[in-house]
Amino acid sequence: MAKRALLTGITGQDGAYLSQFLIDKGYEVFGVIRRSSHRGVEDHRLRWLGVADKVTLLDGDMGDLSSLVRIVKETAPHEIYNLAAQSFVASSWRQPIHTANITATGVTNMLEAMRAEAPEARFYQASSSEMFGLIQQERQSEQTPFYPRSPYAVAKLYGHWITVNYRESFGFHASSGILFNHESPLRGIEFVTRKVTDGVARIKLGKASELRLGNIDAKRDWGHARDYVQAMWLMLQQDKPDDYVVATGVTTTVRDMCRIAFEYVGLDMAKHVVIDPAFYRPAEVDVLLGNPDKAKEKLGWQATTTLEQMIHEMVDADLERVKNSETL
């Protein structure tokens, strides 16, 4: 019998790549999806990867415990991957209550549904490097103290610790992946890497002349989502649950990431990038640099895609989209 996996956030970047990965492993994949009048549009990432017709989507909501209990009961999953969140940091200041309800309390709802209907399932929680915030160590590991600097990061920290609490209180096989920034052609347009690659494509094709950005001296540890979903799966294959930093171990400024994208299409970023204070965060996270040694040692995992390879892939995808007037 095929293993069954239940994914929240299945229509997001990570959910789409994880679905593809699990399907290739022979899993039966189910996804929780909010009811929308735009049905047929929200699964565009799954369609882009060619797996939309290979997953089963079920109406539910992270804020509605009853729907999650029903879905867990119906699907009887062996593995649950909780990827759902209000995941855009900038929006978390404009929607702090919504962010708390979905990104924080929503984790408890899913854990409660699991406790009621599938306590033997294995659970993955998508934690975030943003929890480190004002960094307390030069390289952030599983032992680094957290110092969140946004409502999003605070909500993620709650989700992280409630997962630990259920693991220790109820004996759940529940693991958290503290993922550093991971991108791809499926990244939302509001995130800086995708904003850059889309902007570069539009400028190259004569659709725009400038790209407005905020703090381009911020440093991030960027990897490819396609690599990172493998780490999620590996965590749930271990005998004992645990928490793992998933990162490349290399940090790069937004400025250098932009340079890679502009140079790839033969453009000078200095002629097109405009610094706009409107894009600065109320509380800035200046540097993030992950220490993935534990994941490498215990999971046998390490990133395989370089930043340059990833940015080139994203620029190519956006050039094609802009030429065809597509949005993603």
Q: Are residues 56 and 201 in the same domain?
A: no
Task: Please check whether residue 53 lies inside any domain of the structure.
Answer: yes
According to DSSP, the residues that pair with 32 across neighbouring strands are: 8, 58
Model pLDDT, residue 190: 87
Structural domain span for residue 10 = 4-182+222-246
- Using DSSP's 3-state secondary structure scheme, residue 84 falls into coil
Q: Check pLDDT > 90 for residue 278.
A: no
Per-residue pLDDT reduced to its tens digit, 50-66: 999 999 999 999 999 99
Assigned domain for 328 exists: no
Strands (E), the chain: 4-8, 28-33, 55-59, 79-82, 122-128, 173-179, 182-183, 211-213, 219-220, 223-224, 243-246, 252-253, 273-275
Do 109 and 63 share a structural domain? yes
Regarding whether 239 and 92 lie in a shared domain, the answer is yes
> What whole-number distance in Å separates Cα of residue 103 and Cα of residue 158?
8
Residues 127, 192: one domain?
A: no
- State yes or no: pLDDT of 328 exceeds 80: no
- Mean pLDDT over each residue of the chain, to the nearest integer: 94
pLDDT tens digits for range 100-115: 999 999 999 999 999 9
**Number of structural domains in the chain:** 2
Rounded to a whole number of angstroms, the distance between the first and last alpha carbons of the chain is: 35
Whether residues 262 and 316 share a domain: the answer is yes
DSSP character at residue 206:
T
Q: What is the DSSP letter of 57?
A: E
238 and 139 within one domain: yes
Residue 64 inside a domain? The answer is yes
Which of helix, strand or coil describes residue 259?
A: helix
Q: What is the CATH number of the domain that holds 197?
A: 3.90.25.10
Given pLDDT bands bounded at 50, 70 and 90, which one contains residue 279? confident
Give the tokens for residue 110: 């899913």
Specify the 3-state DSSP secondary structure of 272: coil
Please give the full DSSP string across 222-263, using - where no structure is assigned.
Answer: -EEHHHHHHHHHHHTTSSS--EEEE--S--EEHHHHHHHHHH
Residue 74 and residue 84 in one domain:
yes
Say which DSSP state 271 is in.
G
Burial of 184 (0-12, 13-18, 19+ CB in 10 A): buried
**In a shared domain, residues 111 and 204:** no
In this structure, the answer to whether residues 149 and 92 fall within a common structural domain is: yes
24 and 139 belong to one structural domain: yes
pLDDT score of 36? 63
pLDDT band at 43 (very low <50, low <70, confident <90, very high): confident
pLDDT digits (tens, 9 = 90+) for 119-129: 999 999 999 99
**Predicted confidence (pLDDT) per residue in 173-183, tens digit:** 999 999 999 99
176 and 199 co-located in one domain: no
β-bridge partners, 127: 178
pLDDT classification of 302: cutoffs 50, 70, 90: very high
Where is pLDDT greater, at 159 or 276?
159
Residues 150 and 205 in one domain: no
| pLDDT for the residue 38 | 54
Integer Cα distance of 100 and 152 in angstroms: 8
- The answer for 147, left when phi > 0, alpha when psi is -120 to 50, beta otherwise, is beta
- Biggest alpha carbon–alpha carbon distance for the chain: 58
Q: Is residue 42 part of a domain?
A: yes
Q: 7 with 51: CB under 8 angstroms?
A: no
Coil/strand/helix, residue 53: helix
Residue 274 β-bridge partners: 212
Query: Residue 59 maps to which CATH number?
Result: 3.40.50.720
In the chain, the percentage of residues whose pLDDT exceeds 90 is 88
Q: Is the pLDDT of residue 206 over 70?
A: yes
pTM, to two decimals: 0.94
* CB-CB contact of 264 with 312 (8 Å): yes
Residue 87 domain-assigned (yes or no): yes
